[in-house]
Amino acid sequence: MSSLLYAIIIMLLGSGFFSATESAFFSVPINKAKILANQKKRGAEYLLRIKKDMRPIISVLVVFTNIFNIAGSIFVGAIAAEVFGSSSIGIFSAVLTFLVIIFAEIIPKSIGETFAVPMGLILAKPLFYIAKIFSPLIFIVELFTKSLPKKKKTISEEEIRTLSNLGFLEGVIEEDEKEMINRVFLLNDLTAKDVMTPRIIVTAFNADKKLKEVEKEIYSLSHSRIPIFKENLDNVIGICHQRDLLISLAKEEKEKSLLSFANREVITISEAQKIDKLIPLFQKQRCHLAIVKDEFGGTSGIITLEDVLEQIIGNIVDETDKITNLREKAKKNKN
């Protein structure tokens, strides 16, 4: 009787160990393995190697699990037949099956998932070399599986949104972080027309005027960058900075033409331009403002780097801003 008990315990422990190990390696995300490797955690290098190609390890784990399940069941069954007789072997098989499901599958897999990282770090190195030893067996197994179509793993936008919401509910990320993640995915749904400052409320200066003619307007400017145009706003020839205008006023250079201040390149984009493309454009051109053109080539408004960033982090309002939403003001003026 004792030999039967020992055989059952060895079978359950062996099968349970490999089931828990399989669950642990599947539960460790590859990004987590990369972080652990960067932190120089012991065993992380082998864990990362395994995560990059799980097939050899899974083949080894499946083979050993089935050895314990199948061979162990045959061996235990033979002992049970001697102990209980053939008449009771059916009842014993049902009990053994129940024990295997509970103690060799459900509980070990739960343990493996719960302690995935420590188990992965401890077992990665020995399993890596076991896989090397059994590489001929793995090669034979892969001959039967390599012809099967492999689905490329991708993470969808919806999955990232769901993960951010779950992270917020579990307290892993803050609410404002979750909102920013969600807003980032809206960037490619918005166009320059959706977020620009409309033409009717754009502050711009005529290049033919002298500095003294717009002196009062310069002092009351709420924006640091101002378009300079020839004849009308459809022909913007440059961008000037309020700082340069104030410096010239302080030097009493009031007779200078505004044309001489249009020394910054004009970036033009279409109304249909997706705003997720604007951040790299502003970075590349080293500018903060672009002129938005309509389908006929006329100026329909301006868009700034701040306008784009506000779509991610919300309205940016400083102590000089009396109006927080210029587009709403434009609609009221239009009506």
d(Cα 130, Cα 17) in Å, to the nearest integer? Answer: 15
d(Cα 4, Cα 218) in Å, to the nearest integer? Answer: 95
Cut 0.75: pTM above it: no
Instruction: Provide the strand spans (E) within the chain.
Output: 197-198, 205-206, 225-229, 236-241, 268-270, 289-293, 299-304
pLDDT of residue 138: 72
pLDDT of residue 235: 92
* Binned average pLDDT, 10 residues per bin, the chain of 335 residues: 83 90 90 89 91 86 86 82 74 84 90 92 92 81 64 68 81 84 85 91 91 90 88 91 91 90 88 89 88 91 90 69 54 52
| CB-CB neighbours of 303 under 10 Å | 26
- Report the length, in residues, of the chain: 335
Structural domains in the chain, CATH included, are 2-145 (no CATH), 188-334 (3.10.580.10)
pLDDT of residue 327: 55
